[in-house]
Structure 1
Amino acid sequence: MGDDSAADPVAVSAVLLHWLVAARGHITQEQARDAVTWLSDTLGVVEDDLVYAASLIGHPDAPGVTFNDGVERFGGVIPFVLYMMLLSGALVATVADGDTEWLRQFDLSG
């Protein structure tokens, strides 16, 4: 019954988490702030929630957040994964000038 082509939610969350945490070591705090501002301005996402999730990318105003903290704050894995997806896209838009391949440098394989 299951769709073998469907993405494994655990794998998706692991990849996103790794991309964001790895990116944190390659961006400045100002770039993390710019990504959050871009998301808030472009998509109208509540900035307080974005800042909370942006702890993963080193936002200077974010508290220290673990994956479990994010899951608890946002009410489950899927809502927190959505924030991680949004942040990944915002980094592509603001840091990588729209180059989606930029995130690939942070792939788990290498």
Structure 2
Amino acid sequence: MVFSTLIHWLVAAREQITEEQAREAVQWVSDTLRVAQDDLVYAAGLIGHPDAPPVTLNEGMEHYGENPLTFVLYMLLLSGALVATVGDGNPDWLRQFDLAG
């Protein structure tokens, strides 16, 4: 459930944000949490980061190796970064992308 919610939030947000906003989200994670940008950019393809390689979801997960939680962590960090940078710090901004149900 967590995985599908994160994927949905990020892919749906991709349709509403600009490439520059995707860059700002990655920069925010890097600056705030000291996460290496190179590794994070790979996952940021989900939000339309222009420097992310065009890969499938499975290829993205395989990129992070044996521990699939790394990919989930990056999705969580990107979700928070979008709230901080695009949503002006308001977590309700992300709720617009909730799965119906």
TM-score, normalised to structure 2, is: 0.94
Structure 2 distance, partners of 1:98, 1:40, is 17
The alpha-carbon deviation at position 77 of structure 1 amounts to: 2.3
Structure 2 residue aligned with 1:66, among 31, 56, 63?
56
Structure 2 residue aligned with 1:107, among 80, 87, 98?
98
Q: Which has the greater radius of gyration?
A: 1
Does 1:20 find its partner at 2:10? yes
Q: Which runs of 5+ in 2 are unaligned?
A: none
Q: Deviations over 1:75-99 (max 9, x none)?
A: 2321110000000000000000111
Which residue of the partner structure matches residue 41 of structure 1? Answer: 31
Identity value in percent:
69
Whether the aligned pair in 2 keeps the contact of 1:56 and 1:65 (CA below 8 Å) is no
Q: Secondary structure at the match of 2:94?
A: helix
Q: CA RMSD in A?
A: 1.1
Which residue of the partner structure matches residue 74 of structure 2? Answer: 83
In the TM superposition, structure 1's runs of 4+ consecutive aligned residues that sit over 4 Å from their partners are: none
Count of residue correspondences = 100
Structure 2 distance, partners of 1:36, 1:66, is 19
TM-score, normalised to structure 1, is: 0.86
The alpha-carbon deviation at position 69 of structure 1 amounts to: 1.4
Structure 2 residue aligned with 1:31, among 13, 18, 21?
21
Q: Which runs of 5+ in 1 are unaligned?
A: 1-10
